[in-house]
A and B are shown apart, each in its own frame.
Chain A
């Protein structure tokens, strides 16, 4: 668990350092994720050591959004005043995002992706 946690933190740290050094507008953890992916491609043996910790962390991903969500308290007034615009924009644009991503991917898969070997759908 400790080596796995240290690996995650070091990847994030390197990501943050890289992003700041190059002044690119990409978040550090995302660069860290790309770095860890690259490391796993080069050293597949690391997977077994990382997996239990990352699986636990990702299983409880929802929990990590709770503190930011409670921040709703700070904005009750604005949310009340602009409830209609915010509510409609939230619901419709979430559905538009979900539907357009799913339809685009399904359509492109039919067009360009070769069928998966031995996996008919």
Chain B
């Protein structure tokens, strides 16, 4: 501010500045800000995703997480403060899981016909992902808590966090690894399935839901309703199977290594 600035303006400026600080202090402690920013940033990320022609590498979750993380870091906002607002979005994971019953119901005739191949894929896929995550983590010298957090990463977030807690992992780290797995799976599934010459959308969807839970399912719904329904089914069944089997399998493996 230059020396010629009239006193009244300086006073007005600092009053407005002071008020802005007050407003910031108020807003940063209400859930409103975290919630609004989450929706805005996700909407922006989704627009980038759409602009890219839904390219798997422009995954909106990845873009939104990077943008929000940077924003929190830049403003010095602790994650716990942000989560007070974002928890309302996080909460919807529960009702959304229940909602998967609708596409499932619509695919019921095919479900009845394919129950055995799906059961096989579910058991093999879930166990292969868990055992390989534990084995690779162990072979490359990850700490026990990290290995235990890696083990349930193919399962949908709320379930995976529960499993991690049970086998000595860190639930919040597991949540992050779950999201990374989902993004990775959603981004690379098309290339991998083409390489393996898997064309059937029911198989593609089911495998995506087994290995990459809800983010894989979101990707599958974008490709087709049919693929999405099978991905959602796999995600639900894998949550059910993993909740029962993984604490046992991972528990035994973790004690053994």
CB distance from A110 to the nearest CB of B (A): 9
CA distance A113 to B114 in the complex (A): 6
- 27 A-B pairs with CB atoms under 8 Å apart are A27-B162, A29-B94, A30-B239, A36-B102, A55-B102, A58-B96, A62-B46, A62-B214, A63-B60, A64-B93, A66-B64, A67-B82, A71-B172, A72-B176, A73-B73, A85-B136, A93-B128, A93-B154, A94-B154, A94-B211, A96-B129, A97-B126, A97-B211, A98-B212, A101-B206, A101-B211, A102-B198
CB distance from A30 to the nearest CB of B (A): 5
Select the residue from A26, A55, A86 with max chain B CB neighbours within 10 A: A86
B97, B120, B247: the one contacting A108 at CB < 8 Å is B120
Tell me whether B146 and A85 are in contact (CB under 8 A): yes
Contacts of A93 in B (CB 8 A): 128-130, 132-133, 136, 150, 153-154, 181
Q: Which of B2-10, B16-24, B137-145 contacts A (4 or more CB under 8 A)?
A: B137-145
Q: Give the top 6 A-B pairs by smallest Cβ distance, nearest first.
A: A101-B125, A97-B129, A97-B211, A67-B86, A105-B121, A108-B117
Contacts of B42 in A (CB 8 A): 62-63, 66
Is A1 part of the binding interface, using a Cβ–Cβ cutoff of 8 Å?
no
Select the residue from B100, B192, B247 with max chain A CB neighbours within 10 A: B100
Q: A64-B92, A72-B65, A89-B133 are in contact. Are A78 and B146 (CB under 8 A)?
A: yes
Contacts of A17 in B (CB 8 A): none
Q: Return the CB mask of B106-118 against A: 1 if under 8 Å, else 0.
A: 1010100110111
Q: A59-B221, A101-B211 are in contact. Are A70 and B102 (CB under 8 A)?
A: no
A29, A40, A82: the one contacting B143 at CB < 8 Å is A82
Contacts of A8 in B (CB 8 A): 95, 98-99
Size category, B interface:
35 or more
Contacts of A88 in B (CB 8 A): 136, 140
Is B254 part of the binding interface, using a Cβ–Cβ cutoff of 8 Å?
no
Q: Return the CB mask of A28-46 against B: 1 if under 8 Å, else 0.
A: 1110111111001100000
CA distance A25 to B79 in the complex (A): 29
From DSSP, what is the main secondary structure of chain A's interface residues? helix
Q: Which of B216-257 contact A (CB under 8 A)?
A: 217-218, 221, 228, 232, 234, 236, 239-240, 243-244, 247
Contacts of B100 in A (CB 8 A): 33, 58
Size category, A interface:
35 or more
Tell me whether B143 and A102 are in contact (CB under 8 A): no
Contacts of A104 in B (CB 8 A): 117, 120-121, 124-125
Q: A68-B175, A89-B136, A98-B185 are in contact. Are A40 and B90 (CB under 8 A)?
A: no
Contacts of B125 in A (CB 8 A): 97-98, 100-102, 104
CB distance from B12 to the nearest CB of A (A): 38
CB distance from B174 to the nearest CB of A (A): 9
CA distance A66 to B215 in the complex (A): 10
CA distance A37 to B172 in the complex (A): 30
Tell me whether A70 and B132 are in contact (CB under 8 A): no
7 further contact pairs, Cβ within 8 A, besides A8-B98, A53-B99: A40-B101, A47-B105, A58-B99, A64-B93, A67-B38, A93-B129, A113-B113
